[in-house]
């Protein structure tokens, strides 16, 4: 179940329920700094970038930028951490979610 709104301030958390337990991703779930699995809370520190950023926790993008730099320096065209196929799979899932919600990419921007 997904709820979104541009007019209402929603909790911005995610909960995943399965037969073996629950995963909770606290606010903001799209760029979290903690994860709760089966009641155990793990916290992840974000790197310091030395200046204020526009969006909450976007300094986490440093990890992606560093991986891109590492791949370029090694002459790689693909990261072992996030393969092209994984990127395509995620995009396909997101397109299906948008389709089922009756949304398009243009609706978001």
Distance CA 12, CA 25 (A): 9
pLDDT surpasses 90 at 88: yes
> Residues of the chain with pLDDT > 90: what percent?
49
Tell me the whole-structure pTM to 2 decimals: 0.63
Task: State the Rg of the chain over Cα.
Answer: 17
ω before 42 within 30° of 0 (cis)? no
Distance CA 23, CA 40 (A): 9
First-to-final CA distance of the chain: 22
User: With bands split at pLDDT 50, 70 and 90, how would you rate the model's confidence at 89?
Assistant: very high
- Which residue matches tokens 């970038």? 49
At 9-59, the pLDDT tens digits run 888 899 999 999 999 999 988 889 999 999 899 998 998 888 888 888 889
């Amino acid at each position: 179940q997904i709820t979104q709104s541009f007019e209402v301030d929603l909790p911005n958390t995610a909960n995943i329920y399965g037969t073996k337990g629950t995963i909770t991703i606290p606010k903001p779930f799209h760029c979290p700094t903690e994860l709760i699995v089966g009641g155990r809370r793990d916290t992840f520190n974000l790197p310091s970038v030395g200046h204020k950023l526009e969006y909450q926790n976007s300094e986490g993008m440093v990890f992606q930028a560093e991986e891109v730099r590492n791949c370029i320096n090694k002459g790689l065209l693909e990261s072992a951490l996030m393969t092209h196929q994984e990127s395509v799979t995620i995009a396909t899932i997101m397109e299906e979610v948008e389709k089922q919600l009756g949304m398009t990419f243009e609706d978001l921007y």
